[in-house]
Amino acid sequence: MSSKLNKYVLLRHGVQILFATIVLYIGLTFILFVVQVENETLTKVSRPAGVEAFLPISALVGLKAWIATGSFDPIHPAGLVIFLAVITVSALFKRAFCSWICPIGTLSEGLAKIGKGLFGRNFLIPNWLDYLIRSIKYIILFFFVWGIFFGMSGADAVAFMYSPYNMVSDIKMLKFMQHLTGFGITVIGMIVILSVFYENFWCRYLCPYGGLLGLLSILSPYKIFRNQKSCIQCGKCTKSCPNRILVEQVSRVWSPECTGCLNCVHQCPVAETIKLKAPMGLPHLSVKTLALSLLGVWAMFIIVAKITGHWETNMTIDLYKQILPVVNQIGH
């Protein structure tokens, strides 16, 4: 591996590890918080607002309520802030969230590397079937978007925000993961195994979040550009793409599957032939510039949310203590 490629790999993986570590910390802290509340002990560990990143449906309803009524979600405000940060990143820098920040994307990438280490390669689903099952994530996305933005009124969305189910959706998510049924274990196990054989299986075929970000990424001014004059048609760009995009055959990559991982840029043996750039004269994004841009946008959203009071939930410890004993009955 060349020193240039090695630096790129280390930087992107470093950002991935940073966010994976933050997510792990948030998860453990939230578990400790819930245990304290359940045992009615002195609450020394505060609820981490970042746990709301795992409530995308709640965030989508919160966005609907905000647009329709101007009321910013007071129950899971950090979830809505993170959702807005994610879609902003995607509208600016392709689906870079998926390949740089998302812990599920990082896990999926790791599973694919395990498969490659075991079998010498990752397997490919035939093109006709690939196109067919790629539509699944868009179908799931359509179901949620239509149901929330067209099936709910602003008043309905606000009512959902204040419903007991939404109030404890973070705890219900934790309980679900702690007490997986045989069916749940089987489904997750199958996705893990398929991700070992087929690179980015979850992200490519099943993740509605990725589907939404892919559609938004089409709006991004930044695209992968290939200089057809200096290209030597070695095919390394296409081979290195984890999303099977035929980079060597196009001058500009429009595909919603592009995650801005920059593998193609750094695998290209001819300098300045493949770049992530905008057509309107903006400077191209190197791996370092992209990393700093992603971290900057992410930090900006969180800082502004904290300053304006849109980060911490209005849920009190007493309210959590009232709801926790019946959390298993809520929603049934």
- The string of pLDDT tens digits covering residues 131-167 is 999 999 999 999 999 999 999 999 999 999 999 889 9
Instruction: Quickly count: other Cβ atoms within 10 Å of residue 7's Cβ.
Output: 14
Task: Write the DSSP string, 122-153.
Answer: -----HHHHHHHHHHHHHHHHHHHIIIIITS-
The angle subtended at Cα 47 by Cα 42 and Cα 50, nearest 5°, is 165
* Element housing 320 (H / E): helix 317-323
pLDDT of amino acid 311? 97
What pLDDT, in 10s, does the model give residues 72-114? Answer: 999 999 999 999 999 999 999 999 999 999 999 999 999 999 9
Instruction: Quote the CA–CA distance of 89 and 99 in Å, as a whole number.
Output: 12
**Over residues 32-42, mean pLDDT:** 84
What pLDDT, in 10s, does the model give residues 271-322? Answer: 889 999 987 777 788 889 999 999 999 999 999 999 999 999 999 888 888 8
Instruction: Quote the CA–CA distance of 239 and 249 in Å, as a whole number.
Output: 12
The model's confidence at residue 4, banded by pLDDT at 50, 70 and 90, is low
The model's confidence at residue 325, banded by pLDDT at 50, 70 and 90, is confident
pLDDT of amino acid 41? 74
In which residue are the tokens 């090695």 written? 6
pTM here is 0.92
Query: Residue 260: helix, strand or coil by DSSP?
Result: coil
pLDDT at 331 over 70: no
User: For residues 211 and 140, is the Cβ–Cβ distance under 8 A?
Assistant: yes
44 phi-psi bin (left φ>0, alpha ψ -120 to 50, beta other): alpha
